A = this chain, B = another copy of it.
Amino acid sequence: MLEKTTRINYLLDFYQALLTPKQRSYMEMYYLEDYSLGEISEEANVSRQAVYDNIKRTEAMLESYEEKLHLYEKFMERLKIIQKLDERVTAIGDESLINYMNQLKELD
């Protein structure tokens, strides 16, 4: 369950720009601010079932974007290599390399 939440949070990071304002708002309340379905339904003045359906549909959309674009998967692959690079750069202690590595880490 926790793992699923973490994954959805990452997918939200990568794909939230592709969601509608309503989808984004429900997902933020549910996954980032930890509102319950009941609290969101009160806030949005719609039924609990409508909120639930919207969130489930949005989760499926996020997974479908990931299936097509693989942004989260590629991010994790890049992260692993960057961590190994970073350890070696720190061991070598070259200032230019450290500087470039910091620039690279700021990008993602």
- Residues of chain A touching chain B, judged by Cβ–Cβ distance below 8 Å, are 14-15, 17-18, 65, 68-69, 71, 74, 77-78, 81-82, 84-85, 88-89, 92, 94, 96-97, 100-101, 103-104, 107
Q: Can you name 6 A-B residue pairings with CB atoms under 8 Å?
A: A14-B69, A17-B68, A17-B69, A74-B107, A78-B104, A88-B96
In the complex, the answer to whether B82 meets A88 with C-beta atoms within 8 Å is: no
State the copy count for this chain: 2
In the complex, the answer to whether B82 meets A104 with C-beta atoms within 8 Å is: yes
In the complex, the answer to whether A94 meets B96 with C-beta atoms within 8 Å is: no
Residues of B within 8 A of A74 (CB): 107
A108 to chain B, nearest CB (A): 8
